[in-house]
Amino acid sequence: MTDPKATLFRFRGERLGHGDRAVFEALDLDIRRGETVALLGASGSGKSTLLAALRRQREALCAWCPQEQALVPMLSVFHNIYMGGLHRHGTWHNLRTLVRPTTADRDDVGRLATDLGLTDKLFTSVDRLSGGQAQRTALGRALYTRRPVLLGDEPVSNLDEHQGLALTRLALAAHDSAVVAMHDRALALACFQRVLGLRRGRLVLDAPAADLTLTDLDGLYR
């Protein structure tokens, strides 16, 4: 019988970086199934590098919400969200959906769009959205992937406090496990089980969120 808390990601003395440039010289880290992990640290601390390495380890299990969103500007909110589920359908179905979505697909994506506050934008092209609406669309695409692990790089940074909290909770509830990079310390403490803190390519904090305060996290940004 599979242990539901078995190790999901593991690094032992790993060197992570870009080409010849190392960001982490010798990373030791375990993340177990079922954990929700907030990844905190100043810009350039290594959050995106670590997320990329996590994704390489378990790509088939991971829904991915990148910081740059990577949406297709001339396609609608519907089509950009639907792209998260391309792997669940054949080529012919996907091509037909580009031109004439089925009622079932419209309803399926539409329910998610409602949860994201995008119902009235469902067939609006992404290039006509606000920054917050585009970010919600990118999060919707990740949710529509319907894979058990969420990896996110600042997925709610353009949203106000209340939207960010609601959609973070929505995203976490839809996945068995999650690792999400963010700068919002209060959101990290409110929504996640575990906090990892990075500084200049080093893991300097690893603790249960329930044991931390905002003051404990201040040092990550000095």
Map out the domains of the chain as residue ranges: 32-221
How far from 34 is each of 21, 22, 122, 150, CA to CA, in Å? 32, 30, 32, 11
Give the rounded percent of residues in the chain with a pLDDT score beyond 90: 88
Q: What is the pTM of this model?
A: 0.92
What residue ranges of the chain have pLDDT lower than 70?
A: 1-5
Contacts of residue 68, Cβ cutoff 8 Å, sequence gap at least 6: none
State the CATH architecture for 32-221: 3-Layer(aba) Sandwich (3.40)
- Per-residue confidence (pLDDT) for residue 1, from 0 to 100: 42
* 143/172 Cα distance (integer angstroms): 10
Contacts of residue 99, Cβ cutoff 8 Å, sequence gap at least 6: none
Asked if residues 151 and 51 have their Cβ atoms less than 8 Å apart, the reply is yes
- Per-residue confidence (pLDDT) for residue 71, from 0 to 100: 95
What are residue 35's phi and psi, to 5 degrees? Answer: -85, 145
- Per-residue confidence (pLDDT) for residue 4, from 0 to 100: 52
